[in-house]
Amino acid sequence: MTRFVLRRLLLALPALFGLLVLTFIMLRVLPSDPSAALAGENATPEQIAAVRKAYGFDEPIWKQFVIYVGQVARADLGNSIISNRPVASDIAWRLPATIELTFAALLFAALVGIPLGTMAAVWHNSPFDHVMRVVTVGGLAIASFWFAIILQIVFSMDLGWLPLRARYPDGVPPPTEITGLYLVDSLLTLRFDQFWASFKHIIMPAFTLSLGGLASIARFTRAGVLETMQKDFVHYAEAAGYARKRIIWVYVLRNSVVAATTQIGLLFGTLISSAVAVEAIFDWPGVGSYAVSAILTSDYKAVLAVTLIVGVIYAVVNIIVDVVHAMLDPRVAETL
Amino acid sequence: MKRRTFLVGTGAAAATAVIGSPIALAQRNANELIWADQLPGNLDPHALFDVPMQGYMVNVYDTLYAYEGNPPKLVPWLATGHTVSEDGLTWTFKLHDSVKFHDGSPLTAEDVVWSFQRLLGIKRGAASAFLPVLDPKNVTAPDKTTVVFKLKHAYVPFLSAVPLVAIVNRRVIEPNVKDNDWGTAWLASHSAGSGVYVLDPETYRPVQQADLKRNPDHFKGWGHNKQPVEIVRRRNILETTTRINALIKGEIDATDSYLPTDQVERVMKSKTATVSQDQSMRVMVLRMNNMKAPLDNVNYRRALSHAFNYKGFISGVLKDYAVRNAGPIPANLWGAPKDLKPYDYDLDKAKELLAKAKAEGAPIDRPIEIHIQQHLAQTTQAAQILQQDLRRIGVTLNIVPNLWPQLTASTAKPETTPDMWVHWVSTYFVDPENWIGQMYDSAFHGTWKASCWYKNEKVDTLLREARRLSDQAKRTALYEEASRIVVSEAADIWIYNTIELRGLSNRVKGFQFTPVGSGAIFRIISVTG
């Protein structure tokens, strides 16, 4: 297993480098020059040229890339050209917010999607299955920004049950930072009031974000369970008199969720990119809203850093998924 | 104990703890304000200068003069007054002698000198307003309360531009200077001012949030406001719908001042909030590159000016929350001719003018491009309206999505400047120089404000003369004449002067709009309830 993990880690490196190259090319080859905006109101071409020089935008693209890769190799993501602060520190306080939201959405999608998919398979072609099909197709098709606004209007504006926006109430000190994940930190410090406040804030964004993933997981699980239920060992188990519940929820499910598990890994990438819109709507202070501001201001170092960090997280999650996959099905580890 | 019993027991205990524990989270304090408007990209008032920075600067820093009210009046602030030499070159400002920075140190003439030198040294933000007329070494402090500026040549709008320069605390910044950066890296996330509010740097998150605390020792005192706001929480909520919903729900006290017009009624109908509607000085303009054929032909430009459905846009799209503006100077500012006739929407006239342009050799069949700012819906709407009508008279207009940084970079040369693009000219300083002076004097070619590349020697002469004269009546006459020429030659398409629409919670009292800073002047605001 150690060899398997190491191989997966090594395979991730060229992928990350490729990501860096592609993003850099896209950002720097396409017309994207913040110098004039930085130089200020009515700046003369000479002032703009001075800014361009100061930031190294006048260097050939290949040279800019070599310098940037050198910086990244030294774990230096550079300074934001807009905020004039290290990009790493700008992102550092936002990243836990995005990770918390994405994992909450993923957890919700898995915890609800797998049982729903299993039930749809067990009762396939029943009214429940048909309703599930509509719900899952709907879940994949519904635009998250529309759904988010509906949730805000119903649960916050009309019913007043949940806060409309933000990660935590304005002006109230957040949980003591241990991991940066408010739900975890509040539990670790046994501050259940803080947990409750954080929980109330994350419900709507996490639910919105999870919708597409939930539908996807449910459909993969349904297909997997249906296929497994046709296998001989299930018939043997039934013939041997095992309880149906045990057969489905233990034996069938374990053999069916391999595809869904892989799907969860892929979903993480989708969720973290969808988080951009969800964070903007719910005023969630994550890297998504930071990326939006960075794109609008052509703050290319910030955009590169966000892309790279999200890429690293995506790679790590996929390695974890592969490991889980290998644990569920040891044949996988042998093939790699 | 069975596993299931254990799990149920643990779950129940946790649920009881969560639900049963007291929610020790404070409600909003009565004397705090949540202001959900855009924050500047960073907090150094000399490194950046835009509308969000103005909103920050007017609260955290003081300036020699300041703008108050609407239409804005220039009033002495840190200065008690000023004098100008007869040749218009030497400007002497006398300062209050009791002003203190947030760290308690006195604000003296030396600080004013250093602040201007820093601005001119950094060469960013508002520096462009001063670089052509002011050498850093010509700002001097003969004594603790006197500052003297010796300009390179007479420049009357100098006084109007003085409120652009925040006076910063040298003693706080200098220890944080690195690599001769004038402390820009440090000041980007800290403050060094003397203003009515003090930044709490611990709360600052770039582009997201910053808390400002009241400065009880501000030199102007607080006698004018019996219930001042103690803490202003600046929050940047990206999504418009969320901002508006949060306002109606009472989670925030103010939105930005560009509320979508279709949301005004909704906010007004709510029992919790209202909309402040104030005519600003912010002109929407469709730029035309006067150096690129066929836009170099005056009749072609006039045809385009007649092909825009002004009423349809202002009434239909903006629901009349805008005022038609005939020329480049906002109609509510001196210098704008009162009798200036705006271009009307007349496609027959446009066709006639196109035919004239064609006869003069203009390649009118060439498709032209208009670049919009893709995150600003109004720029798209205006472009689409023009596109539809131009199609009816045989002109192809292609809409190209773009962003502000790219657009401003492209305007350095006529060949890279788009055929057309859409933007607004906001109130950076209150003088016709801010609009017509910098938009149509060819000396400004290469800057985004002069990106139509208009060139008329008569206009150049009028505008340069207007900069030199101190008599406002004479200046008015010059600007009016220049306006008439520029409009008659259809240098650009001027659409409207903005009515700023800021959603305000009913808690907010004392809000007074001024175009500089869009009314974000917290010293006069109180909150109730």
pLDDT in tens, B62-111: 999 999 999 899 999 999 999 999 999 999 999 999 999 999 999 999 99
Query: What's the mean pLDDT in B481-495?
Result: 98
Sign of CA dihedral B279, B280, B285, B290: positive
The mean of the pLDDT values for chain B is 92
Top-confidence residue, B133 or B14: B133
| C-alpha to C-alpha distance for B164 and B64, rounded to whole angstroms | 9
pLDDT at A69: 82
Kind of pairing between the strands at B146-151 and B197-205: unpaired
Name the band, by pLDDT with cuts 50, 70 and 90, for residue B17.
very low
Compute the average pLDDT of residues B271-287.
Answer: 95
Q: What is the pLDDT of residue A2?
A: 77
Q: What percentage of chain B carries pLDDT values higher than 90?
A: 83
pLDDT average, residue stretch B167-171: 97
A149 touches chain B (CB under 8 A): yes
- For chain B, the C-alpha Rg in angstroms (whole number) is 26
> What is the interface size between A and B, counted as CB pairs within 8 Å?
178
Averaged over A311-333, what is the pLDDT?
Answer: 79
Q: Output the CA torsion sign for A87, A92, A93, A96.
A: positive
A196 and B21 Cβ atoms separated by less than 8 Å? yes
At B22, the pLDDT band (50, 70, 90 cuts) reads very low
Dihedral (CA of B168, B171, B176, B179) sign? positive
> Distance between CA A67 and CA A49 in Å, rounded?
20
From chain B, the residues in CB contact with A79 under 8 A are: 185
Smallest Cα distance from B18 to chain A, Å = 5
Q: Which of A69-83, B7-21, B140-154 has the lowest mean pLDDT?
A: B7-21
A290, A91 Cβ separation under 8 angstroms? yes
Contact between B34 and A83 using a beta-carbon 8 Å cutoff = no
Residue of A nearest to B19 (CA): A196
Residue B234 φ/ψ, nearest 5 degrees:
-85, 125
Give the separation between CA B491 and CA A238, rounded to whole angstroms: 85
Q: How distant is the Cα of B29 from the closest Cα of chain A, in angstroms?
A: 9
Is pLDDT above 80 for A179? yes
Instruction: Identify the pLDDT of residue B13.
Output: 47
Which of A45, A152, A297 lies at the smallest CB-CB distance from B412? A45
- Residue A29: what pLDDT? 67
Give CA B373 to chain center in angstroms: 16
Binary contact (B251, A164; C-beta < 8 A) = yes
Question: Which residue on chain A is closest to B23 by alpha carbon?
Answer: A193
Crossing angle of helices B3-20 and A192-228, in 10° steps, is 140
Range from A122-126, B55-59, B319-323 carrying the lowest mean pLDDT: A122-126
Give the mean pLDDT of B125-137: 91
The number of angstroms, rounded, from the C-alpha of B237 to the middle of its chain's C-alpha atoms is: 18
Per-residue confidence (pLDDT) for residue B27, from 0 to 100: 54
- How wide is the angle at C-alpha B55 spanned by C-alphas B51 and B59, nearest 5°? 155
Rounded to whole angstroms, the Cα distance separating B507 from B527 reads: 5
Indicate the residue type of B194.
Answer: S
Mean pLDDT across B166-170: 98
Residue B18 is predicted with a pLDDT of 46
How far does the CA of residue B248 sit from the closest CA of chain A (Å)?
8
Cβ-defined contact of B208 to A33 (cutoff 8 Å): no
Q: Is residue B26 over pLDDT 60? A: no
Query: For the residues B236-256, what does the mean pLDDT come to?
Result: 93
- Which element (helix H / strand E) includes B33? strand B32-35
Most confident range (mean pLDDT) of A70-84, B3-17, B473-487 is B473-487
Angle, alpha carbons B499-B505-B506 (nearest 5°): 110
CB A73 within 8 A of CB A308: no
Q: For residue B105, what pLDDT is reported?
A: 97
CA distance B249 to chain A (A): 6
- Collapsed DSSP state (helix, strand, coil) of residue A176: coil
Which chain A residues are Cβ-neighbours of B123 within 8 angstroms? 39, 47, 50
For the beta carbon of residue B282, count every other beta carbon within 10 angstroms. 23
Rounded Cα distance between A58 and A45, Å, is: 13
Q: What is the 3-state secondary structure (H, E, C) of A16-69?
A: HHHHHHHHHHHHHHCCCCCHHHHHCCCCCHHHHHHHHHHCCCCCCHHHHHHHHH
Amino acid at B138: N
Q: Are B252 and B232 contacting, i.e. CB atoms less than 8 angstroms apart?
A: no
- By DSSP bridging, strand B32-35 and strand B65-68 are unpaired
Q: Do residue A47 and residue B446 have CB atoms under 8 angstroms apart?
A: no
User: For residues B20 and A249, which has the higher predicted lDDT (pLDDT)?
Assistant: A249
Mean pLDDT of the region B175-197: 95
Q: Is the pLDDT of residue B8 over 60?
A: no
Does A36 score more than 80 pLDDT?
A: no
pLDDT at A134: 87
Tell me the angle at which helices B377-392 and B347-359 cross, rounded to the nearest 10 degrees: 70
B124 vs A: CB within 8 A: yes
Mean pLDDT over residues B284-294, rounded?
97
pLDDT at B5 over 70: no
Mean pLDDT of chain A: 85
Beta carbons of A84 and B184 less than 8 Å apart: yes
Structure confidence at residue A8 (pLDDT): 79
Instruction: Determine the pLDDT at residue B30.
Output: 80
pLDDT at B155: 95
Mean pLDDT of A321-332: 76
Helix orientation angle between A287-296 and A300-328, rounded to the nearest 10 degrees: 140
Nearest CB to A31; choose among B207, B406, B428? B406
pLDDT surpasses 80 at B204 = yes
pLDDT value of residue A31? 60
Strands of the sheet containing B90-95, edge to edge, are: B79-84, B90-95, B146-151, B134-143
Residues ≥6 apart with Cβ < 8 Å to A147: A208, A211
Residues 232-271 of A with CB under 8 A from B: none
* Interchain CB contact of B240 with A (< 8 Å): no
Q: Determine the Cα–Cα distance for residues B425 and B328; give it in Å rounded to an integer.
A: 9
| C-alpha–C-alpha distance, residues B192 and B43, integer Å | 10
pLDDT at A333: 66
Instruction: Answer whether residue B10 shows pLDDT above 90.
Output: no
User: Does pLDDT of B121 surpass 50?
Assistant: yes
Task: Tell me if B492 sits within 8 A of B286, measured CB to CB.
Answer: yes
